[in-house]
Amino acid sequence: MLYDALIAPFAEFEFMRRALVGVFALALGGAPVGVFLMLRRMSLTGDAMAHAILPGAALGFLVAGLDLFAMTLGGIVAGVTVAVGAGFIARATQLKEDASLAAFYLVSLALGVTIVSLKGSNVDLLHILFGTVLALDNATLYLLSGIATVTLLVLAVSWRPLVLECVDPLFLRSVSRAGAPVHFAFLTLMVINLVGGFHALGTLLAVGLMMLPAATARFWATDITRMIAIAIGAAILSGIVGLLVSYHAGVPAGPAIILTAGVVYAVSVVLGPVGGLRRRLVPGRHLEA
Amino acid sequence: MTAALAFRDLTLGYDRHPAVHHLNGAVEEGALLAVVGPNGAGKTTLLKGIVGALRPLAGKIELGRVRVRDIGYLPQAAEIDRSFPISVYDLVAMGLWRSAGLTGGIGRADRVRLDQAISAVGLAGFESRAIGTLSVGQMQRALFARLLLQDAQVILLDEPFAALDAKTVSDLLDLVRRWHGERRTVLAVLHDIELVRARFPETLLLAREPVAWGQTLEVLTPENLLSARRMCEVFHDDAAVCEDAA
Amino acid sequence: MRLRTILAALAVLAGAIAASAQEKVLVVATFSILGDFVKNVGGDRVALEVLVGPNGDAHVYSPSPSDAKKLAAAKVVFTNGLRLEGWIDRLVKAAGSRAAVVTATKGIAPIEAAERSGHKAEHGTDPHAWQSVANAKIYVTNVRDGLIAVDPAGRATYEKNARDYLAQLDALEAEVKAEVARIEPERRRIITSHDAFGYFRAAYGVQFIAPQGVSTDAEASAKDVAAIIRQIRRQRIPAVFLENISDPRLLQRIADETGARIGGTLYSDALSDEKGPAASYIDMMRHNVKELKAALTS
């Protein structure tokens, strides 16, 4: 019985196995990036990025027609330009990250709409660019795995300056010139995780699996390494359960996974030991020291 | 004696308004220098300039035998993101930057130094606490521990004792004295004139422009202090372009 | 004086006869396929207006004021009937048209509509009678008779045009049967969300199976995809013609996992525009059969 409910769907259907691998890869690459985004108060960047990539995708469309590879590549270029440009302005001027990014992505979106209208057709480019977790072909799986690998490698190498940049940027500046390059490398990681995620899985799933597990982990850990581990775990759990819900109950796959992640998040808000509602609702007795 | 730091007609500021105006002088190696002055005198700005966070509007800063990354800098604690989830241990460990670098491991010798630094500032037992749970005093102690680990030749302290209780101040001052004994150059921006008179042999009285620089007792006269206060109250929105040069 | 009046009257009459000989008969056809039949039978004698143009959907068409105007001026309106155009009766009345209304499917034995999701929510007859060429011939004869009724002067032309066109349809019928015969019998089935091929199936023996699940444009669920894969595997369906799955990657995944082939576009309810592969009825049937054969022959 339990086998039928939990294992059989994956055993019987290849698309289910592929979806699982895809979610795995996205969790490994996207969840750590999401934790950093959350800690840097950039949680809404994902949605901004979904709009910012339009001119890149549009240019890819102008050059190569409805070729997914060209459009995705264009999207990545546009995304990196917007993210790094916004980051640079935020560092070099008094404008903060959020305003800088807002300015960039709005201009980018308008540019994209203009480019699309030049070609005359009313094609909903972004709709075409966004995939679904149930349709992962080999190329897409390689893309997701590649992104996860690159992300983990870059994070491993730039761990210290990245953390320092978040906690005490002045100190970092005084001991090293790695601050700016590391920051831009992080922004690039964010863009490839997002755009790759859009291409493979659609916006909802890509952004959702980045940010919801990060928010969840906030309530279970006081240390960033553990936070990232919990975020990855939450993402994978949401993926598995969400796919099973979609399989048994007929809920669309992407939303099912995100709804599951949402439930995990809600449970964490209430029951999480760190900074959640639990201590408010049930204060418990205080310690000796 | 050689100069650890030298200022040549240095002007630092924001948006073309000078916060430090035409500063000339040198800090000898091994000096224990207090930088005092009224609010808005440019003291924090001066430290930021030394450490490279601010580019001079005019003039230059010469760094003697050290590079910027060999300077130990303690900014005002408000600039640190206390909500970030790292432990006291990890915060202090940042001081090992010079030896561990980007990816280098932290060896056993380093760990011993880490533990010693944490004990030296009286934070033994706090290693795994998140920095967000520390009081102001405990945070300052942690930052001093980090400074200890940095093993820097030049140390800059920006308002290190603000809002601390007497015991903490006294403990940290002992560390400063230790550094001075080890012939490190220490600059400290301070508000407490009495503390400066008691513990710091050399003082720079800054009120955007240098009012006096030298032996503490000669610098901190009532006349000097009065003129410093007067000089500082000026900040014109439509000031004319400055024609002076040193 | 009387003579002058008579001569004047004769002149006017002659003019009227001459004018009417050059003046085309205004006719309206409700949708593109029917319009094609009317064009072939009517030839130059008719000025044809089609309400639901190429690639249009006659099931859910909402008429505009210019349609009413066309109807008001027309001599005859050709409809499909069989409940295809639910909107036509009201439109004719609202237009105040005194045109004759001809139901082109008169005499065709209707088929029950298959139960499917999508357009045909109601049970009842399947209106897509033209999918069988034999039925198309009945359409043509009805059109011919309808034109003759309102324009007796053109009887000879209409009868000749109809004869020629019917001959073409006979050739088409033979062609379709021959092509289908080239497909192995156990491969004569596809999955499609089109619900318009009931008559084709009855006439030529190809099965058009409805997909279980994945019926709309909305995002697919794992359950839907699993259902359709199971169905394709179980019923050993060799090809999928699922144009309503907007994500080509999903379609490819289903094809990869079942070994089915992805078919091209099938035209069921309307002709394509002039540049498309189904600009006339005969082209449409040829195109559909070609697509079917390409997908189903191993």
A132 contacts C250? CB cut-off 8 A: yes
Name B27's Cβ contacts closer than 8 Å, sequence gap at least 6. B3, B4, B5, B6, B33, B185, B187
**Structure confidence at residue B155 (pLDDT):** 93
Partner-chain residue, chosen from B68, B75, B98, that has the shortest CB–CB distance to A170: B75
H/E element, A46: helix A45-52
**Structure confidence at residue C214 (pLDDT):** 59
Would an 8 Å CB–CB cutoff place A93 in contact with chain B?
A: no
Q: Which strand ranges, in their side-by-side order, compose the sheet holding C25-31?
A: C46-52, C25-31, C76-79, C100-103
Q: How far apart are alpha carbons A259 and A254 in whole angstroms?
A: 9
Cα torsion angle, C227, C230, C236, C242, sign: positive
Please measure the distance between the N-terminal and C-terminal CA atoms of chain B and give it in whole angstroms: 24
C226 contacts A16? CB cut-off 8 A: yes
Q: Which of C109, C141, C175 is a domain's end point?
A: C175
Confidence of residue C282 (pLDDT cuts 50, 70, 90): very high
Q: How far apart are alpha carbons B42 and B208 in whole angstroms?
A: 5
Helix (H, G, I), strand (E, B) or coil at A211: helix
Cβ pair A181, A234 in contact under 8 A: no
Measured between beta carbons, the chain A residues lying within 8 angstroms of B131 are: 167
Q: How far apart are alpha carbons C9 and A93 in whole angstroms?
A: 94
pLDDT score of C19 more than 60: no
B86 contacts A173? CB cut-off 8 A: no
Q: Name the residue of chain A whose CA is nearest to B69's CA.
A: A175
To the nearest whole Å, the CA of C72 is away from the closest chain A CA by 35
Name C261's Cβ contacts closer than 8 Å, sequence gap at least 6. C238, C239, C240, C255, C295, C296
B80 contacts A175? CB cut-off 8 A: no
Query: Could you give the C-alpha distances from B85 to A105, A178, A219, in angstroms and in order?
Result: 30, 21, 11
Instruction: Mark whether C206 and C141 lie in a shared domain.
Output: no
Instruction: Mark whether C31 and C137 lie in a shared domain.
Output: yes
pLDDT score of B208 more than 90: no
Q: Which of C175, C192, C208 is a domain's end point?
A: C175
A246, A259, A260: which to substitute to probe chain C, counting the most C Cβ within 10 Å? Answer: A246
Partner-chain residue, chosen from B85, B146, B150, that has the shortest CB–CB distance to A224: B85
Q: Name the residue of chain C whose CA is nearest to A202's CA.
A: C219
Query: Could you give the C-alpha distances from A247 to A23, A44, B78, C219, in angstroms and in order?
Result: 15, 30, 51, 13
Helix (H, G, I), strand (E, B) or coil at C101: strand
Helices (H), B32-96: 43-51, 88-93
Measured between beta carbons, the chain A residues lying within 8 angstroms of B86 are: 163, 167, 223-224
In a domain, A282, yes or no: no
Helix (H, G, I), strand (E, B) or coil at C280: coil
A167 contacts B84? CB cut-off 8 A: yes
Partner-chain residue, chosen from C213, C222, C257, that has the shortest CB–CB distance to A14: C257
Q: Which residue has the tokens 């999508």?
A: C118
Instruction: Mark whether C143 and C189 lie in a shared domain.
Output: no
Beta partners for residue B71, in sequence order: B154
Q: How far apart are alpha carbons C121 and A220 in whole angstroms?
A: 51
Name C159's Cβ contacts closer than 8 Å, sequence gap at least 6. C144, C148
Instruction: Mark whether C213 and C65 lie in a shared domain.
Output: no
Q: Which of C152, C175, C198 is a domain's end point?
A: C175
Q: Picking from A26-40, B215-229, C121-135, C146-160, which range would have the lowest pLDDT averaged per residue?
A: C121-135
Beta partners for residue B136, in sequence order: none
**Structure confidence at residue A3 (pLDDT):** 82
Q: Could you tell me how many helices (H) and strands (E) chain B has, helices first?
A: 9, 9
CA B51 vs. chain centroid, Å, equals 10
Q: How far apart are alpha carbons A216 and A234 in whole angstroms?
A: 8
In a domain, A285, yes or no: no
Q: How do beta strands B58-62 and B71-74 pair?
A: unpaired
B150 contacts A157? CB cut-off 8 A: no
Helix (H, G, I), strand (E, B) or coil at B192: coil
List the subunits that have 3+ CB pairs under 8 angstroms with B.
Answer: A
Instruction: Mark whether C77 and C39 lie in a shared domain.
Output: yes
- Range of C236's domain? 177-296
Instruction: Mark whether C15 and C28 lie in a shared domain.
Output: yes
How many folded domains does chain C comprise?
Answer: 2
Return the exposure string of A41-62: e unless at least 16 CB atoms fall within 10 Å of the residue's CB, then b. Answer: ebbebbebbbbbbbbbbbbbbe
**Structure confidence at residue C18 (pLDDT):** 55
B73 contacts A167? CB cut-off 8 A: no
Name A5's Cβ contacts closer than 8 Å, sequence gap at least 6. A244, A248
**Looking at residues B101-119, what average pLDDT do you find?**
84
Domain containing residue C266: CATH number: 3.40.50.1980
Q: Name the residue of chain C whose CA is nearest to A135's CA.
A: C250
**Structure confidence at residue B92 (pLDDT):** 93
**Structure confidence at residue B189 (pLDDT):** 93
> What are the DSSP E strand ranges found in chain B?
3-14, 17-28, 32-36, 58-62, 71-74, 154-158, 185-189, 202-207, 209-215
**Structure confidence at residue A169 (pLDDT):** 83
Instruction: Mark whether C158 and C191 lie in a shared domain.
Output: no
**Looking at residues A153-161, what average pLDDT do you find?**
91
In a domain, A287, yes or no: no
Would an 8 Å CB–CB cutoff place A161 in contact with chain B?
A: yes
ipTM, 2 dp: 0.82
Measured between beta carbons, the chain A residues lying within 8 angstroms of C117 are: none
B63, B97, B110, B153: which to substitute to probe chain A, counting the most A Cβ within 10 Å? Answer: B97
Q: How far apart are alpha carbons B116 and B124 in whole angstroms?
A: 9
A171 contacts B75? CB cut-off 8 A: yes
Q: How far apart are alpha carbons C150 and C100 in whole angstroms?
A: 8
Measured between beta carbons, the chain C residues lying within 8 angstroms of A139 are: none
List the subunits that have 3+ CB pairs under 8 angstroms with C.
Answer: A
- Each residue of B176-192: pLDDT tens digit? 999 999 999 999 999 88
> What are the DSSP E strand ranges found in B15-125?
17-28, 32-36, 58-62, 71-74
pLDDT score of A276 more than 90: no
Name A113's Cβ contacts closer than 8 Å, sequence gap at least 6. A54
Q: Picking from A90-94, B67-71, B120-124, B203-207, which range would have the lowest pLDDT averaged per residue?
A: B67-71
Domain containing residue A261: CATH number: 1.10.3470.10
Measured between beta carbons, the chain B residues lying within 8 angstroms of A161 are: 102
Measured between beta carbons, the chain A residues lying within 8 angstroms of C246 are: 127
Helices (H), chain C: 2-22, 32-42, 65-73, 88-95, 133-150, 155-181, 198-204, 222-235, 248-258, 281-296
Partner-chain residue, chosen from A18, A19, A249, that has the shortest CB–CB distance to C223: A249
Rg, Å, chain A Cα set: 20
- Range of A23's domain? 2-274
**Looking at residues A230-234, what average pLDDT do you find?**
97
Instruction: Mark whether C230 and C129 lie in a shared domain.
Output: no
In a domain, A138, yes or no: yes
Instruction: Mark whether C104 and C149 lie in a shared domain.
Output: yes
pLDDT score of C21 more than 60: no
pLDDT score of C112 more than 90: no
Instruction: Mark whether C73 and C219 lie in a shared domain.
Output: no
Q: Which residue has the tokens 């995100």?
A: A258
A71, A134, A138, A140: which to substitute to probe chain C, counting the most C Cβ within 10 Å? Answer: A134
Q: How do beta strands B32-36 and B202-207 pair?
A: parallel
- Each residue of A89-121: pLDDT tens digit? 988 888 888 899 899 989 988 888 888 787 766
Measured between beta carbons, the chain A residues lying within 8 angstroms of B145 are: none
In a domain, A286, yes or no: no
Confidence of residue B14 (pLDDT cuts 50, 70, 90): confident
- Of B212, B175, B227, residue with least CA distance to B34: B212
pLDDT score of A130 more than 80: no
H/E element, A239: helix A224-249
pLDDT score of C189 more than 50: yes
- Number of CB pairs < 8 Å for A and B? 72
Would an 8 Å CB–CB cutoff place A216 in contact with chain B?
A: no
Name C217's Cβ contacts closer than 8 Å, sequence gap at least 6. C244, C246
Measured between beta carbons, the chain A residues lying within 8 angstroms of B150 are: 175
Partner-chain residue, chosen from A127, A132, A248, that has the shortest CB–CB distance to C220: A132
B86 contacts A174? CB cut-off 8 A: no
pLDDT score of C118 more than 60: no
**Structure confidence at residue C216 (pLDDT):** 54
Q: Picking from A164-178, B1-15, C33-47, C111-125, which range would have the lowest pLDDT averaged per residue?
A: C111-125
> What amino acid is encoded at C62 in this protein?
S
Rounded to 5 degrees, what are φ and ψ at C132? Answer: -105, 130
H/E element, C28: strand C25-31
Measured between beta carbons, the chain C residues lying within 8 angstroms of A253 are: 219-222
* pTM assigned to the model: 0.78
Would an 8 Å CB–CB cutoff place A221 in contact with chain B?
A: yes
Average pLDDT for chain C:
86
Partner-chain residue, chosen from A157, A161, A174, that has the shortest CB–CB distance to B68: A174
Cβ pair B110, B100 in contact under 8 A: yes
To the nearest whole Å, the CA of C30 is away from the closest chain A CA by 28
What tokens appear for C167 in the block? 């001959």
- Of C125, C169, C127, C126, residue with least CA distance to C144: C169
Instruction: Mark whether C15 and C131 lie in a shared domain.
Output: yes
Q: How far apart are alpha carbons A134 and A253 in whole angstroms?
A: 7
Percent of chain C with pLDDT over 70: 89
pLDDT score of C16 more than 90: no
Q: How far apart are alpha carbons A151 and A187 in whole angstroms?
A: 11
The answer to whether B and A touch (≥3 CB pairs < 8 Å) is yes
Percent of chain C with pLDDT over 90: 42
Measured between beta carbons, the chain A residues lying within 8 angstroms of C218 are: 252
Confidence of residue A266 (pLDDT cuts 50, 70, 90): very high
Confidence of residue B73 (pLDDT cuts 50, 70, 90): confident
**Structure confidence at residue B246 (pLDDT):** 42
**Looking at residues C255-282, what average pLDDT do you find?**
89
To the nearest whole Å, the CA of B39 is away from the closest chain A CA by 21
Instruction: Mark whether C171 and C192 lie in a shared domain.
Output: no
**Structure confidence at residue B76 (pLDDT):** 76
Q: How far apart are alpha carbons C257 and C228 in whole angstroms?
A: 11
**Structure confidence at residue C121 (pLDDT):** 47
Burial of C150 per CB tally in 10 Å (0-12, 13-18, 19+): middle
Q: Angle at the Cα of A34 (from A30 to A36), degrees rounded to 5?
A: 125
Measured between beta carbons, the chain A residues lying within 8 angstroms of C214 are: none
Rounded to 5 degrees, what are φ and ψ at C14? Answer: -60, -45
Rounded to 5 degrees, what are φ and ψ at A94? Answer: -90, 0
- Each residue of A21-75: pLDDT tens digit? 999 999 999 999 999 999 988 888 888 888 888 888 888 888 887 777 888 888 8
How many folded domains does chain A comprise?
Answer: 1
**Looking at residues A150-164, what average pLDDT do you find?**
92
**Structure confidence at residue B188 (pLDDT):** 94
Return the exposure string of B92-123: e unless at least 16 CB atoms fall within 10 Å of the residue's CB, then b. Answer: bbbbbbeebeeeeeeeeebeebbeebbebbbb
Percent of chain A with pLDDT over 90: 42
pLDDT score of B238 more than 80: no
List the subunits that have 3+ CB pairs under 8 angstroms with A.
Answer: B, C
